[in-house]
Amino acid sequence: MRHGLSGATVWLTGLSGSGKSTIANELARELLNTSRLAYILDADNLRHGINNDLGYSDSDRTENIRRVAEVSCLFADAGLVAIVPIISPFIASRESARKIHVDKNLRFIEVHVATPIDECERRDTKGLYAKARSGAISGLSGFDSVYEPPKNAEVVVGANNETLAQSVALIMAKLLVRAGQ
């Protein structure tokens, strides 16, 4: 706890179209409604700025996660809840992000947005699955590139048709328990 504020990072991992960003936005609203400061570190926005020199190779994806983890630590250390909706396809990278937080005595809550791939493809919010099927793009996590689901996420949503409100409530409960509030 710094400056009377209890910061943390809520790391939402899942396939494209799983609902990570939707959950992140609603979680941020709910946190602000309870007078807790939150900031969403959206992967797409970070790739246009701090990570604009990275592509989508495995090594670039790993570096992307490392940078996002370091930035989220800064927010958490300042007492905010950093909400990170990012595919982060590799278990090792997510564990590295967790370790960066643990080493700094900062809370890290991994949330697996476990929406099945057929539902993600049905939603296809960014048109990526259609592009991958047509061959216009390759390397889509969980489609033609690796996605390693978490084995021990603190929270799992999306697998049992939870509503947005139910998903946020599950995360809030874990966040508040972890924050000691």
- The 10s digit of each residue's pLDDT in 110-162 is 999 999 999 989 988 888 888 888 888 877 787 888 899 999 999 999 988 89
Quote the pTM value. Answer: 0.88
Residue 1 pLDDT greater than 50, yes or no: no
Average pLDDT, the chain: 88
Q: Which residues pair with 40 in a beta bridge?
A: 83
Residue 41 pLDDT greater than 90, yes or no: yes
Region 10-31 average pLDDT: 95
Question: 8 and 172 in contact (C-beta within 8 Å)?
Answer: no
Domains and CATH numbers, the chain: 8-179 (3.40.50.300)
* Residue in 6, 21, 72, 88 annotated catalytic: 88
| Whether residue 21 lies in the annotated active site | no
Residue 76's CB is within 10 A of a number of other CB atoms, namely 25
- 78-117 pLDDT, tens digit per residue, is 999 999 999 989 999 999 999 999 999 999 999 999 999 9
End-to-end CA distance of the chain: 11
Show Cβ contacts of residue 114 under 8 Å, excluding neighbours closer than 6 positions. Answer: 14, 18, 149, 156, 157, 158, 159
Closest Cα partner for 17 from 142, 89, 112, 124?
124
